[in-house]
Amino acid sequence: MAEQHLPERQSPLEPDYHPGSHGNFEHGVDVILSETRPGSILQLAAWPGEESRLIEIIRKVTGLALPDGAGGGVSSGGSAAFGFAPGKFTVLDEAEGLAQAFADAMTPAIGTLTDLSHGRTTIRIAGPKAEWVMAKFFAIDFALPAFPLGAGRSTNHHDIFAQIQRTGADQFDIYVFRSFARSFWKALCYASEEVGYEVQ
Amino acid sequence: MSPRRAETGGRIDRLRTIRFTFDGAPYTGYAGDTLASALLANGVTLFGRSFKYHRPRGLLAAGVEEPNALVTVLRGEVREPNIPATMVEIYDGLVAVSQNRTPSLAWDIGAINQLGGKILSAGFYYKTFMGPVIGPLKGTRFWMFCEHFIRRAAGLGKAGTAPDPARYERMNAFCDVLVVGSGPAGLMAAKAAADQGARVILADLEANLGGSANWSGETIDGMPAADWAQRLAAQLAGNDNVRLLPRTTVWGYYDGNTLAALERVTDHKEVAAKGEPRQRYWAIRAGTVVLATGSFERPLVFPGNDRPGVMLAHAAERYANEYGVLPGQRIALFTNNDSAYRSAVALKKAGAAVVAIVDVRGDVSNEMRRLASDAEAELLAGHAVIATEGGKALTGLKVQRFDATSGVLSGDERSIHADSLLMSGGWSPTIHLASQAGAKAEWDPARQAFLPPKPTQRWTGAGAFTGSFSTAEAIAEGRAAGLQAAGGAASSAPLPVVEAAPGDPDPAPVFEIKAKGKSFVDFQHDVTAEDVRLAHREGFISVEHLKRYTTLGMATDQGKNSNVPGLAIMAEALGKPIPEVGTTRFRPPYTAVSIGSLAAERFGDLKPERLTPMHDWHITNGARMYSAGLWYRPMIYGLPGETVEQAYVREARATRESAGIVDVSTLGKIAVQGPDAAEFLDRVYTNMFSTLAVGKARYGLMLREDGLAFDDGTTWRLGEQEFLMTTTTANAGKVMQHLEYFLDVIWPELKVTVTSVTDEWAGAAIGGPNARAILASCVTGTAVDNATLPFMGIVHGQIAGVPVMICRLSFSGEMAFEVYSGAGYGTRVWEALIEAGKPFGLVTYGLEALGTMRIEKGHVTGAEIDGRTTARDLHLDWMLSKKKPFIGSAMMDREGLIAPDRLELVGLIALDNRPLNGGGHIVEELDEANPHASLGHITACCYSPALGKHIALALVKGGEARHGTRAFVSDPLRNRFGPVEIVSNHFYDPDGSRMHG
Amino acid sequence: MLITCPYCGPRDVIEFTYQGDGNRERPQPASQNLDAWNAYVYDRLNPAGDHNEIWQHSGGCRAHLRVVRNTITHEILSTEFARGGHKSTDSRAEGRS
């Protein structure tokens, strides 16, 4: 199936995705919002004691070397990985078919692989006011020393569960459940009006 | 020029004139003025009418503790009541009105209440509950009679009814050090902590940082204190690791050093910038908090102490020094401590005549005598004010010789002509946040004040908050606190040098002058000293009872002025020292907080909602949406002119006659994976899943630990170690938590991963006699015939070029299939199915038709699995495996759960052919006048197109035994009574021949 | 109130769900001892003081935690994963609790 050329997926944000500058942007935009639409989003879970073997598999398959420690992560070009729970990792790639790439390496002795490529929507916020806007939603510390580059966090905004990876000094990728994505997107745009935002 | 504005002085911008209105009259002020200072400058003395007696009231204070001058600010249709005029910054176009007066502030008919003072004394409200007997009016009736008038007469501002269009936001913040209060102590603490590299937030409820430095008139490091503060604030503002939050009231101190603050972002602006919130609710998690919240000056309690023109001494000093406004031309002061002498000098310097300083202490220090002579004031040591004169403005006062130890007045009364009386009853540290944080305040007999308790959380105090009332102490303590909070070592570097007036911080222990007339303790709630004594006489001697009986300290100012004097008077009545009377614990919020800021973005369009992948298609194609929890689902796809009932009857009928399709993407879906997945499901479900073949699905039932039914759904075995569990839409989250709990806490040895994949899959259920033919015409890569896809079988194929997974299962009772695809392809697959169905007359159907068909089939949902029913009650006992234990198996056979008179699931048919209602009761004998003896209730109802009747599912006592008998529906609430027949819940196709095909 | 999740660090209590008394002991699955089941399902300690509780970090990593909390002061005395085996590898967590 991986070889098959699949049609483009529908974005849950479509009717509310308006490229251009919005809000209080007369003096410039302070955040840029976009949907990154990776082709593959996987969840990999290791059984207790198998975590380091799983990290090794991730390195072999994707080339991403995960740092040690809770919430440790790395992003590079079109791929990224981070821990979001004990023994659990989110791994993504801009191309489809990552699940197939992992299928052989992920034996039942190590853990499980769950394909969430459709189930999670990835929204990127970048710019000098990214931390400020994110702080309106999430009760976690976005300052660089507390939330280092590449690291992942699991948190929520009201009922909206979110995984967040810092993919730049002033850039975050937010993974939300697809069904909540439009609602979250609208709220994110609303909250960004104050600083001026551009949708790319 | 304004009658009371000095020619020079103050920290206002005299080049920027601001125009505003108060009670409809136009006024001007300067940028930097509060509504209070601007009106005072215009000669306004009357600001409000008191709560109970409608007495005329003026400004008592200059800051947040102002109890009298409460105003309503109007913005278009939106009104915000009960804001102290001292906290309203004026802007061009500000519209403010006074409160609690009819028809106007000057002529208020409620003032007649002043004559009925006896009736309205402490506890008057409660006494009306008991009430005297006046004709037919006694007890409750008397109260109800009185209540109408009491509620109208007593009160504060009126809330508006127009929707508030303003934007409110929540903001989360983290810091190493939060400094609350930006006076000299707070500024020094913030600077010291910031210099250590700590992340610092400095919050102050005032617009200008600096606190008392803005009006103290002192000199720090050779410059005016206000300039020193401004310079320090500017230095802090340039620091990357410092966030300054002016106009931000820290109002709550919660567990874990979490603090709540309200920032008034645009309340002082004529127009907010685009996207700028009106107010921001800050949730601040602080490593350490430095409390530098200062102190409040206390009023003295004496007859007429509430007359307009009687003001706190420091407030007058502040109006003069910060705003260049004099509260009067002929000023008298009344004090029990040294701080008022400094105020006297300041006012003299600002241009007022200080006619007298009345000091309760007979023994006044030489330093104070010198200050009095600097102010050219007559010093009346060992005297007290016993009365004030005037109406809506003060004209004079009366004094008498006073003994501070015995409280005895003696000698002749003497009148003094004055238009302003400034009082100082000592100072109370602002310990509210420390008290909220946990521990009890401690009484300090020297300071005659409650000092902050020992910290129970990570905070440290500095300055007047700790009872150190001098600026030099505040600076030293502030720096020490900042260093300590940031983990720095104590510093011996020289401190800024303060030049200030001398003064002993300890007042004489005099709170009240007992003379004839009303002496107010709580200005905002009109509680007098006599009310406190009355409460004592009537037995309300605990401080908590005192508070509730007299309402002392329960107004919007929460007793910021009145707590200590009230306690002192109660202590005297009890003959006990103040610490033995105790104090109430302060609770959040410190000041009023708008509901809007607490709700922040969680209302209206921004409320989180969940949409299925096909949501936009539904909207475009005429669906009327229905909110089910956070989900939005089509209720019906109505044709023009159709009622809801007509639409669902058409949809259900067409499905049974040909085919229908429904969006089932909202069903909870959980991936259950791992070597022990099958074993885990055996433990979780009442029936077996380890025996399920790969590529097959099974209907499963879960119980709770207590043996009652929990949730049901189908689970599909996609691989040896891989299952896809479905749950009801409503219980998806609960089931997920249930599974996670057992895997984490009870059976950690099981190697199983559970993951919510609800959003991964779009689901479409297509059912009806032609469903298979429709599928066959659009599915590639697999056959869908009975052999390839038997009942509960699963196949993989493609529709419209995308992979799909199809399971043959039925909720409607028809031959039906659930088609799952990646959510991003949901609409594509849905549209392909619709297209393929066109030749067959395929209809889309919504929740109403779905519900109708499930009722016809007698399937249970959350209405029946209501947390009180067992598997047996629902006729699902065939699913209870006897081969294995499962969650709930041990508890499900308890006596009460197998009793013969339990409510059991049955079907009902309305014999009068009228609609039934959910919640209606079932009775054996109809008694409309006296409905009684319920046998059970209706859980779901509809008009059944298949049966041509109004039917329902119900839970009825001994249900199965009643099949074929007659009963009645008794629904007095909706006046629906009538005969029903009790039947099996399987109304339609009971042997399942249609779905098995 | 803040609870320090061994994985995520200190988080606001709104991210957590209380999942019951941590002192309960579940009988063996096949046990027919109704008294033991009754105690497990219904009996609760409700002490005024230190209490063993189960909390789920439901708005975060979703792990269940064993938490010792003082019911009078709300002080959290300790937190650990309810499921053994995954000791925190988070150096950030050190010194936090």
Closest-CA residue of A relative to B258 is A139
Q: Residue with structure tokens 């222990």?
A: B509
What pLDDT, on the 0 to 100 scale, is given for residue C85?
Answer: 43
Task: Give the one of A12, A116, A195 whose C-beta lies nearest to B611's C-beta.
Answer: A12
Question: What is the C-alpha separation between B248 and B951, in angstroms, rounded?
Answer: 60
CATH number listed for the domain at residues B668-756: 3.30.70.1400
Is C12 an 8 Å CB contact of chain B?
A: yes
Strands B383-390 and B394-402: antiparallel
pLDDT at residue C94 is higher than 80: no
Choice between B108 and A84, residue whose per-residue pLDDT is larger: A84
Locate B99 and state its tokens: 């409160």
Per-residue pLDDT tens digits for B766-806 = 999 999 999 999 999 999 999 999 999 999 999 999 999 99
CA distance, residue B734 to nearest chain C CA (Å): 11
pLDDT at residue B894 is higher than 50: yes
Neighbors of chain B with 3 or more C-beta pairs under 8 Å? A, C
Strands B794-799 and B722-727: unpaired
CATH superfamily, domain at B308-420: FAD/NAD(P)-binding domain (3.50.50.60)
CB B101 within 8 A of CB B116: no
Question: What is the C-alpha separation between A169 and C51, in angstroms, rounded?
Answer: 42
User: What CATH number is associated with residue A46?
Assistant: 3.30.70.1520
The residue among A108, A105, A118, A109 whose CA lies nearest residue A42 is: A118
Kindly indicate the confidence band of residue B549, based on its pLDDT and cuts at 50, 70 and 90. confident
Q: Residue with structure tokens 């689901």?
A: B763
Is C70 an 8 Å CB contact of chain B?
A: no
Sign of CA pseudo-dihedral B7, B13, B18, B24: negative
CA distance, residue C64 to nearest chain A CA (Å): 11
Residue A9 domain flag: no
Please work out, in degrees rounded to the nearest 5, the angle formed at the alpha carbon of residue A31 by the alpha carbons of A29 and A33: 115
Quick one: average pLDDT of B937-951? 97
Question: What is the C-alpha separation between B373 and B354, in angstroms, rounded?
Answer: 10
CA distance, residue B424 to nearest chain C CA (Å): 38
Is the Cβ pair C86, A154 closer than 8 Å? Answer: no
Whether A74 and A25 map to the same domain: the answer is no
Question: What is the C-alpha separation between B338 and B364, in angstroms, rounded?
Answer: 9
Question: What is the C-alpha separation between B798 and A12, in angstroms, rounded?
Answer: 22
Phi, psi of B664 (to 5 degrees): -115, 25
Architecture in CATH for domain B510-596: Orthogonal Bundle (1.10)
Domain boundaries, chain B: 1-162, 166-298+426-507, 308-420, 510-596, 615-666+760-852, 668-756, 898-989
Is the Cβ pair C63, A69 closer than 8 Å? Answer: no
Is the Cβ pair B744, C30 closer than 8 Å? Answer: no
Domains of chain C: 2-93 (3.30.2270.10)
Whether A62 and A80 map to the same domain: the answer is yes
pLDDT at residue A126 is higher than 50: yes
Is the Cβ pair B745, C74 closer than 8 Å? Answer: no
Whether A127 and A30 map to the same domain: the answer is yes
Pick the CATH number of B1-162 from 3.65.10.10, 3.10.20.440, 3.10.180.10, 3.40.50.720: 3.10.20.440
DSSP category for residue B928: S
Architecture in CATH for domain B898-989: Beta Barrel (2.40)
Locate A162 and state its tokens: 């979110």
Whether A50 and A92 map to the same domain: the answer is yes
Whether A128 and A32 map to the same domain: the answer is yes
SS3 sequence of B540-583:
CCCHHHHHHHHCCCCCCCCCCCCHHHHHHHHHHHHCCCHHHHCC
Is the Cβ pair C86, A161 closer than 8 Å? Answer: no
Percentage helix, strand, coil for chain B under 3-state DSSP, each rounded to 5: 25, 30, 45
CB B334 within 8 A of CB B423: yes
The residue among B771, B837, B839 whose CA lies nearest residue B806 is: B771
Kindly indicate the confidence band of residue B556, based on its pLDDT and cuts at 50, 70 and 90. confident
Neighbors of chain A with 3 or more C-beta pairs under 8 Å? B, C
Sheet of strand B70-75, all strands in order from the earlier edge strand to the far edge: B25-31, B13-22, B94-98, B70-75, B78-84
Per-residue pLDDT tens digits for C67-88 = 999 999 889 999 999 986 434 3
Phi-psi region of B397 (alpha: psi -120 to 50; beta: other; left: phi over 0): beta
Quick one: average pLDDT of C63-67? 96
Whether A84 and A131 map to the same domain: the answer is no
Strands B843-844 and B660-663: parallel
Quick one: average pLDDT of B812-826? 97
The residue among B838, B848, B845, B794 whose CA lies nearest residue B818 is: B794
pLDDT at residue B870 is higher than 90: yes
Choice between B317 and B160, residue whose per-residue pLDDT is larger: B317
Whether A132 and A177 map to the same domain: the answer is yes
Pick the CATH number of B166-298+426-507 from 3.40.50.300, 3.30.2320.50, 3.50.50.60, 3.30.360.10: 3.50.50.60
Q: Is the link from the previous residue into B589 a cis peptide, with omega within 30 of 0? A: yes
Quick one: average pLDDT of B159-182? 94
Is the Cβ pair B258, C12 closer than 8 Å? Answer: yes
CB B19 within 8 A of CB B45: no
Q: Residue with structure tokens 């908590």?
A: B544
Q: Residue with structure tokens 């685009």?
A: B274
CB B186 within 8 A of CB B474: no
Is the Cβ pair C90, A70 closer than 8 Å? Answer: yes
Angle of the B529-537 helix axis to the B543-550 helix axis, nearest 10: 120
Spell out the alpha helix ranges (H) of B744-814.
771-778
Quick one: average pLDDT of B586-594? 92
Locate B316 and state its tokens: 């007058």
Whether A125 and A195 map to the same domain: the answer is yes
Per-residue pLDDT tens digits for B752-770 = 999 999 999 999 999 999 9
Question: What is the C-alpha separation between B240 and B237, in angstroms, rounded?
Answer: 8
CA distance, residue A141 to nearest chain C CA (Å): 10
Strands B976-983 and B934-944: unpaired
pLDDT at residue B452 is higher than 70: yes
Angle of the B471-485 helix axis to the B184-195 helix axis, nearest 10: 30
Question: What is the C-alpha separation between A40 and A62, in angstroms, rounded?
Answer: 12
Q: Which domain holds residue A75?
A: 39-116
pLDDT at residue C92 is higher than 90: no
Is C94 an 8 Å CB contact of chain A?
A: no
Whether A125 and A54 map to the same domain: the answer is no
CA distance, residue C32 to nearest chain A CA (Å): 32
What pLDDT, on the 0 to 100 scale, is given for residue C88?
Answer: 36
Question: What is the C-alpha separation between B974 and A62, in angstroms, rounded?
Answer: 65
Q: Residue with structure tokens 């106009």?
A: B247
Is C16 an 8 Å CB contact of chain A?
A: no
Beta strands in chain C (DSSP E): 2-5, 9-12, 17-21, 50-56, 64-70, 76-81
Instruction: Give me Rg for the CA atoms of chain C.
Output: 15
Per-residue pLDDT tens digits for B326-342 = 999 999 999 999 999 99
Quick one: average pLDDT of B824-841? 98
CATH entry 3.30.1360.120 includes domain B615-666+760-852:
yes
Is the Cβ pair B890, C64 closer than 8 Å? Answer: no
Kindly indicate the confidence band of residue B583, based on its pLDDT and cuts at 50, 70 and 90. confident
Question: What is the C-alpha separation between B732 and B716, in angstroms, rounded?
Answer: 16
User: What CATH number is associated with residue A32?
Assistant: 3.30.1360.120
Per-residue pLDDT tens digits for B708-743 = 999 999 999 999 999 999 999 999 999 999 999 999
Whether A136 and A44 map to the same domain: the answer is no
In DSSP terms, which residues pair with B660 in a beta bridge? Answer: B767, B843
Quick one: average pLDDT of B235-255? 97
Question: What is the C-alpha separation between B72 and B84, in angstroms, rounded?
Answer: 9
What pLDDT, on the 0 to 100 scale, is given for residue B131?
Answer: 58
Based on the structure, what is the number of domains in chain A? 2
Whether A108 and A175 map to the same domain: the answer is no
Q: Residue with structure tokens 């209870």?
A: B880
All residues of chain C having their beta carbon less than 8 Å from the beta carbon of residue A70 are 6-9, 88-90, 92-93
Strands B722-727 and B668-673: antiparallel
Task: Give the lowest-confidence range in B81-85, B103-107, B503-507, B958-962.
Answer: B103-107
Whether A169 and A135 map to the same domain: the answer is yes
All residues of chain B having their beta carbon less than 8 Å from the beta carbon of residue C41 are 705-706, 891
CA distance, residue C33 to nearest chain B CA (Å): 8
